[in-house]
């Protein structure tokens, strides 16, 4: 019950405004792909064109090899979970879930079996007679999911389905959605602007920005090897060190970036290769990569300007000599004080080189 989904040069513009530039995207059968990006990045437009609710200005959409560009949404074999659910307020939970099946003119027994199955899957059997207004946000969310997959669509589209829930419930529902994805085996396309949600849920993430795809890859890919500064900034916390490649190499022959805070070794891989001496570059340093050491014994020195407690760890903010800031994760045992000067060292392989 899953299908491969493909968009070929699909694009949308409203008059002069480009909502989505021509976009090629392939979602494998059974894959969980997340469209991640800030608002206005085109992710919802792309999802709506896949659903058929918005007609593309150009390009094609194929589901399971069939061109569905001009096919009505209801005949594409898709299901959709809407932002804030769009449950029918005048129908009971049971009727909501049965709606898609009835539209497919299935027999009474089939409808009953499918609705019961769907409600069992989301553990909401006891609520079949209730009305949507009588349910909590999380319960409504479950019904929206049940309604969507009751008729077993091969592609399920989810448009920021957890946006209206509080943090704790959201995390719980994330694991529910992952479980449902495994049980159903359908292809999931999930829209969110929450990077944590994308990292947790997805097989692959399609990062979008300014009406086009910025980068597609697994969560690990995107976190460890962001292709652009935007990707580095949007996913996870990031420190960017800018500078030019030094004429001298380091003790092990590695290239060195000359930054405001000091001489920093460069990795031998990354999205960009270190150019000849003088070339300007940008180095991505995740907060968890460096270790705090005595001043003058690391790559960089900085003054601690702030300490923020996060529960699982503590973030230390360092101010470098040029006034720029670095955020560094600090283990619980250490107890630095604001105003201390500290040094930083790290494994160069845990940094990523980006083009400036």
Binding site for another protein (CB under 8 A): 51-53, 55, 58, 60, 69-70, 72-75, 78-80, 82-83, 86, 88-90, 99-100, 103-104, 147, 151
Please give the Cα distance from 109 to 328 (Å, whole number). Answer: 60
Choice between 33 and 150, CB closer to another protein: 150
On the CB side of 343, how many CA atoms lie within 13 Å of its CA? Answer: 12
List the end-to-end C-alpha distance of the chain, in Å, as a whole number: 45
Choice between 55 and 260, CB closer to another protein: 55
Strand partners, 212: 209
Q: How far is the CB of 79 from another protein (least distance, A)?
A: 7
- Starting at the edge strand found earlier in the chain, the sheet holding 212-217 runs 78-81, 155-159, 187-192, 32-36, 204-209, 212-217
User: Could you tell me the CA-to-CA distances from 16 to 19, 23, 69 in Å, in that order?
Assistant: 9, 18, 22
Please give the Cα distance from 80 to 73 (Å, whole number). Answer: 10
Q: What angle do CA 199, 355, 346 make, to 5 degrees?
A: 65
Q: How far is the CB of 192 from another protein (least distance, A)?
A: 18
Q: How far is the CB of 100 from another protein (least distance, A)?
A: 4
Choice between 55 and 338, CB closer to another protein: 55
Q: How far is the CB of 177 from another protein (least distance, A)?
A: 18
Q: How far is the CB of 58 from another protein (least distance, A)?
A: 7
Q: What angle do CA 148, 176, 35 make, to 5 degrees?
A: 65
Choice between 103 and 338, CB closer to another protein: 103
Q: Report yes or no: 14 and 54 within 8 Å, Cβ to Cβ.
A: no
Q: How far is the CB of 201 from another protein (least distance, A)?
A: 21
Beta carbons within 10 angstroms of residue 251's beta carbon: 7
Choice between 115 and 271, CB closer to another protein: 115
Rg of the Cα trace of the chain? 25
Choice between 69 and 218, CB closer to another protein: 69
Q: How far is the CB of 90 from another protein (least distance, A)?
A: 5
Tokens of 63: 């589901």
Q: How far is the CB of 194 from another protein (least distance, A)?
A: 21
Please give the Cα distance from 236 to 21 (Å, whole number). Answer: 26
Q: How far is the CB of 145 from another protein (least distance, A)?
A: 13
Tokens of 333: 């045992």
Q: How far is the CB of 91 from another protein (least distance, A)?
A: 8
At residue 72, what are phi and psi to the nearest 5 degrees?
-55, 145
Please give the Cα distance from 229 to 93 (Å, whole number). Answer: 46
Please give the Cα distance from 15 to 271 (Å, whole number). Answer: 36
Choice between 155 and 271, CB closer to another protein: 155
Choice between 151 and 299, CB closer to another protein: 151
Q: What angle do CA 170, 176, 179 make, to 5 degrees?
A: 145
Choice between 52 and 287, CB closer to another protein: 52
Q: Is 308 helix (H, G, I), strand (E, B) or coil?
A: strand
Choice between 32 and 151, CB closer to another protein: 151
């Amino acid at each position: 019950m899953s299908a491969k989904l493909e968009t070929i040069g699909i694009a949308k513009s409203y008059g002069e405004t480009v909502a989505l530039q021509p976009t090629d995207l392939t979602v494998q059968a059974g894959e969980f792909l997340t469209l991640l990006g800030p608002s206005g990045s085109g992710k919802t437009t792309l999802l709506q064109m896949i659903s058929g609710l918005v007609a593309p200005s150009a390009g094609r959409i194929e589901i399971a090899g069939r061109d569905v560009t001009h096919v009505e949404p209801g005949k594409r074999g898709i299901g959709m979970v809407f932002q804030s659910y769009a449950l029918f307020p005048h129908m009971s939970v049971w009727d909501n879930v049965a709606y898609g099946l009835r539209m497919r003119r299935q027999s009474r027994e089939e409808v009953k079996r499918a609705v019961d199955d769907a409600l069992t899957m989301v553990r909401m059997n006891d609520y079949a007679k209730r009305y949507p207004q009588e349910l909590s946000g999380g319960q409504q969310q479950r019904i929206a999911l049940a309604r969507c997959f009751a008729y077993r669509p091969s592609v399920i589209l989810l448009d920021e389905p957890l946006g209206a829930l509080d943090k704790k419930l959201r995390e719980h529902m994330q694991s529910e959605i992952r479980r449902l994805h495994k049980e159903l085996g359908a292809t999931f396309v999930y829209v969110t602007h929450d990077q944590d949600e994308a990292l947790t849920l997805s097989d692959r993430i399609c990062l979008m920005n300014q009406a086009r795809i910025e980068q597609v890859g697994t969560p690990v890919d995107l976190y460890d090897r962001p292709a652009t500064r935007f990707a580095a900034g949007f996913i996870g916390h990031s420190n960017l060190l800018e500078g030019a490649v030094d004429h001298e190499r380091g003790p092990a022959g590695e290239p060195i970036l000359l930054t405001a805070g000091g001489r920093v070794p460069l990795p031998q891989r990354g999205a960009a290769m270190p150019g000849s001496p003088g070339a300007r570059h940008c180095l991505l340093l995740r907060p968890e990569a460096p270790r705090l050491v005595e001043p003058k014994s690391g790559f960089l020195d900085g003054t601690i300007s702030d300490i923020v407690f996060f529960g699982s760890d503590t973030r230390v903010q360092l101010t470098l000599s040029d006034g720029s800031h670095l955020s560094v994760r600090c283990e619980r045992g250490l107890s630095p004080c604001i105003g201390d000067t500290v040094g930083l060292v790290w494994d160069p392989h845990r940094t990523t080189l980006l083009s400036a």
